Amino acid sequence: MTGPSLRERALRHLARRDHSRAELARKLAPHGSAEEVEAVLDRMDELSLQSDARMAANWVRSHAGRFGRARLQSELAHRGLPSELIEETLDNDLVASELDRARAVWQAKFRAAPADAREWARQARFLHARGFSAELVRAVLREKTENTGENAQ
């Protein structure tokens, strides 16, 4: 066998960032049989080198300032994490409220309340794409337009 072993490949991936078990299995699959990959993943888990819970907590901490709950859920599910772990992580690790995070994301991008309906829609689409619910988006934008004394809706 030429090239690095499965174990070395797994360690290289984990040295760069935390990976979910599913991500790591997907990356290792082309380089070994299913049994070999499972054995390496089990060993990484035994040595606490790979942990889905740690990966989820780290990912949420690093991305919560930019995304809403729906986007965080979607991204974690895409990484192959079980829904129970995702819910538990989001419930435990989201420090700021969803409204506070939506305000911060809006402030970082726009800084000024929407001047007309077209701008209001653009800002609403941006926040919605970031994973914030429609009612949260309306609340943030209503709050911003009321603060400027305009009614852009």
Mean pLDDT of 85-99: 88
What secondary structure letter does DSSP report for 1?
A: -
Residue 39 shares a structural domain with residue 14: yes
Average pLDDT taken over every residue of the chain: 91
**Residue 146 vs residue 18, higher pLDDT:** 18
Residue 5 banded pLDDT, cuts 50, 70, 90? very high
Give residue-wise pLDDT tens across range 47-73: 999 999 999 999 999 999 899 999 999
Share of the chain above pLDDT 90, in %: 82
Residues 86, 58, single domain; the answer is yes
Q: Are 46 and 1 found together in one domain?
A: yes
**Angle, CA 81 vertex, CA 71 and CA 24 arms, to 5°:** 115
135 closest CA partner among 69, 61, 65: 69
Count how many domains the chain has.
Answer: 3
Residue 153 lies in a domain: no
Q: What is the pLDDT of residue 102?
A: 94
Same domain for 56 and 41: no
User: Does residue 151 have a pLDDT over 50?
Assistant: no
| pLDDT tier at 94, thresholds 50, 70, 90 | confident
Instruction: Check whether residue 29 and residue 63 sit in a common domain.
Output: no
Clarify whether residues 46 and 57 are in a common domain.
Answer: no
Burial of 56 (0-12, 13-18, 19+ CB in 10 A): buried
Q: Tokens for 4, please give them.
A: 């690095």
Same domain flag for 80 and 103: no
Give which of 62, 21, 26 is closest to 44, Cα–Cα. Answer: 21
- At residue 119, does pLDDT exceed 50? yes
- pTM beyond 0.85, yes or no: no
In a domain, 79, yes or no: yes
Does 66 reside within a domain? yes
Residue 103 neighbours by CB under 8 Å, 6+ apart: 140, 143
Structure tokens at 16: 């760069």
Domain of residue 91: give its range. Answer: 52-95
Asked if 90 and 104 sit in the same domain, the reply is no
Q: What is the pLDDT of residues 122-143, one digit of tens each?
A: 999 999 999 999 999 999 999 8
Return the pLDDT at 149. 59
More confident residue, 153 or 44: 44
- Indicate the DSSP class of residue 30: G
Burial grade of 75 (CB within 10 A; 0-12, 13-18, 19 or more): middle
> Do residues 43 and 62 both lie within one domain?
no
Residue 90 sits in the same domain as residue 110: no
| CATH at residue 2 | 1.10.10.10
